[in-house]
Structure 1
Amino acid sequence: MPRSWQEDFFDRLVAASRGAGDARLATAKSHRRKKIGSFAHPQASWIECAFDTNRITGNQQSQVLVVEIKPKRASEIDSAALAAEIKNAGVGGDAQIKDGLILLQYRWGYGQGETFPLDDPRRLQEAVNWVHAALRVVFDHLERRRHVVTASVSADTAAPPNYTLALEKYLEDMLVEGLESLPWAASLQYIGRQVPCGDLGFIDILTQDRATGDFVVIELKRDKTDDEVVGQLTRYMGWIKEHRADPSGVGVRGIIVVHEVTPRLRAAVLSLANVELYNYRLAIDLRPAGRPGRS
């Protein structure tokens, strides 16, 4: 049975993906019977690449290459942030993030019965590059928003595992989930996490004061130095002031959440009237549960 042009394309996509130098892309597989390609990621239930008509507009004449990604339930995505990241990365194509499904499209032809021009090296490379760029943005987003935590234990020491350091990697998740229960955050309305600030980076958590309307930028120190976290926070506050607060006629405040307030950090923040410091404490308490049947 002769091979279809779809099978040829996905075989070439798989070969290019495995040679791209990215372990995530190297998971590529070609499924000849289904005439699709697939990738794997620990935070996705499925990642499929296929040729189809336009799934976003419903135009049956518009021919597209589709990448469909279904994140696992435990992997939270920020639709607005991901859409902005795709745009800022210059990936191109169309994107729709809806009902927990990420749909990315690359328009390559028009009219029913069209076949992808595999004999055109430029067009082929362009399509392959688009798939790789789109997937890298999504993979980075998923990994940034869900940290895999393992407690590090040295094999040559009797010291107990440092669970506190491991738990710190979940700090952003815990703050977002428990924001409403924190006394100092009771007046804050959650907007989003890993919110893009143009070319400056991503705000850990962005909120807004319900009473004043002021935007409140929350940055977690974690592995940053004192100078880095202060500089980063003030840059993000400046971006929010210019692009969101000033147009709305409201102010901007900042909060740094840190495990230990050092004299250097306190001094750096002392002259910033609109920046506050909060320190957190994390602990784990392990107790024997006893054996079944024993009192």
Structure 2
Amino acid sequence: MHNPAEPMQNEAVNPDEQLNVRIAWHYYVGNMTQQQIADLFGITRVRVNKALAVCRETGLVQIRINSRLASCVALEQRLLERYRLQRVSVVPSPQDPAQIFRVLGVGVAPTLEEHLRDGCTLAVGWGRTLREAVRELQGKALNEMTVVSLLGGLHYGSANNTVELASSLAGLFGGAYYYLAAPVFAPSEQYRDMILAEPSVQSVLARARQADLALLTVGDLSERSLMLELGLVNAEDAQSLRAAGAVGDLLGRWLDRDGEEVDHPFNRRAISLELTDLARIAKVVLVSGGPYKTEIIGAVLKRGVVHELVIDEVAALELLAS
């Protein structure tokens, strides 16, 4: 549990970052060409192009397109009706599948900014999509805002980790953050019970239950799965989860196609908010996409815990066709 520290007044200036920001300013605000900027700073055009790419990737520059695609709007209406959602945002799918996380992050950022207010409690999951969403957010002063993690995390630093996500969000808005000082999966059911009995863990879960807004994504069981990539679930585990009927996870809880938790040891070792408690949070936003996540997205929507959905066009089409 932590309140982010105030930035150091004498923080060392990063010359490369300063140059990147100046390049971005002249390009996006000053309407200069890349060659004009290269001439201005006495650098190559390749260096200018690289600086602009870095500014986008790190969130120093954020782009909003204030228009809607008719085809996406039509899909939104169909998803609203099928799953009885309050709002759906469908974004164009990227040509490069590796860009799906950033595309979804761009898509959910305006929704999140709209809901955040001073004094609110935001509960967050983890993953690559949420990491990209944080990079696309425009920070503002919400000093009484609280961010709380919904599940345990990794034992090492990672941009996808629950601790780093909560910390980054709190830092953007000047609020406090709380996290579960525990792994995603305990080594045994007995150890999980011991962890959950800890007063500090109970305190964080109590805050999560009272959250005004929850921001979630889901995981699948393909080779692209973050759980498999990080080694939290190995190939043998994935096979046994599939055999039990699992199509993916929500907060480390493995679900079948109907959105029910499967009978598997992982579900008895998961350290996260109970899905029955998640259903009581006033506003739950799910952001996820990619064709390999269609089954788990559909499963979560069938549980009826989601109020708003952000999804890409291809996944939306597959979801409606399933």
TM-score (norm. length: structure 2): 0.28
Question: When you count helix as a share of all residues, which structure comes out higher?
Answer: 2
Question: When you count strand as a share of all residues, which structure comes out higher?
Answer: 1
Q: Which has the higher contact order (CA 8 A, sep 6+)?
A: 2
